[in-house]
Amino acid sequence: MKRPSHYSRSGSPRMVDISAKPETERSASAHAFVRLPPAVLRALPRNPKGNPLDIARTAGIMAAKKTAELIPLCHPLPLSHADVDVRLVATGVEIVAIASATARTGVEMEALTAAAVAALTVYDMTKALDKGIEIGELYLLEKTGGKSGGFRRKKK
């Protein structure tokens, strides 16, 4: 059986050595969804904390840049771009985060972290209206670049 990539021969967790890999352009996008009850959706214009969508977008971008500080074995990457689209829809808030870099490893974790933190921020900004808000549907939408090539999630 092949040893897991994030463990040393002695069984200790380790950061994978990517020094021999070539730098290539890489990108990724991720999705998250925050389900808001109808009463919360109606109250958003009068939310006592302000506009959660603006704050969530900023929080997601900041999180993408700090991914290596949050995920223990994740490599720090020089992101060339990070953005978060936060849209109000009929049942809540849809979040799509993107990240890109020219690097030796992918940016999937940066996109996923951005989407997750943006969703958590929507919760934080709206929890005074309802504690039962749900965060879900966090997944990778697409990735490009690297040895494993591209990936695109099939439509449901």
Q: 């934080």: which residue's tokens?
A: 124
Active site residue 83: no
Question: What tokens appear for 64 in the block?
Answer: 């993408």
Q: Which helix (H) or strand (E) holds 96?
A: strand 92-103
Using DSSP bridges, classify how beta strands 79-89 and 92-103 pair: parallel, antiparallel or unpaired. antiparallel
94-111 core/surface letters (b: 16 or more CB in 10 A; e: else): bbbbbbbbebbbbbbbbb
The catalytically annotated residue of 54, 85, 124, 130 is 124
Beta strands in 53-133 (DSSP E): 79-89, 92-103
Q: Which residues are catalytic?
A: 124
